[in-house]
Amino acid sequence: MGHRCRECGGEMRQVGGRHHWVESGLGNVYIEGDQVKQWECPNGHKTVQIGGLKNLLDTLAETLANKRGRLTWPEVRYLRKSLYWKAGNMARALGVDAATLSRVENGHAPVSAAVDRMVRMIYQNPSEAERNLMALTDEPGENEEFLITATAAGIVVTTKPPIVRQEA
């Protein structure tokens, strides 16, 4: 006995060919080969089984992060989700507010060159990016003094906060 259609109960037959993998969240991804099995019933209902899914998802993310052209908005979202990062964390790391990232990820704002590069950098080393980028602040910088002391023993940099002058 073969597979039965979940929608109509009809007998499913295995079919070949490419599968337009819209389930990936990207409209331009197709999948074919030994890891993909597709069935169709006489009423046109389809079922797809994809093996080695984790490896496929990781390979797709790596390919996107290394592609030559600028990332598209669905690709930005795909890379963020492949890291299991929440949108708020990614927005903070990119130095934008959550609403701006939402507009980018939903196609309502363009993917700037800066966002494209930052997303790729974050993808390549997420733990270091999170540690370094999240430690930055959006507070206005102060005019600190930096004193560099260079001796034969090494180089030491010390900072001194600016002197706040009080009005008399």
The pLDDT of 103-132, averaged and rounded, is 92
Which carries the bigger pLDDT value, residue 143 or residue 33? 33
The whole-number pLDDT of residue 163 equals 60
Q: For residue 12, is pLDDT > 90? A: yes
Computed over every residue of the chain, the mean pLDDT equals 88
Q: For residue 129, is pLDDT > 90? A: no
The whole-number pLDDT of residue 114 equals 93
The pLDDT of 76-102, averaged and rounded, is 94
Q: Are the C-beta atoms of residues 73 and 104 closer than 8 Å to each other?
A: yes
Q: Which residues contact 44 (CB under 8 A, 6 or more apart)?
A: none
* Neighbour-count burial of 78, counting CB atoms closer than 10 A to its CB (0-12 exposed, 13-18 middle, 19+ buried): buried
Q: For residue 92, is pLDDT > 80? A: yes
Q: For residue 136, is pLDDT > 90? A: no
Q: For residue 44, is pLDDT > 80? A: yes
Tokens standing for residue 27: 């409209």
Domains of the chain, start order? 1-51 (no CATH), 52-138 (1.10.260)
The pLDDT of 13-20, averaged and rounded, is 89
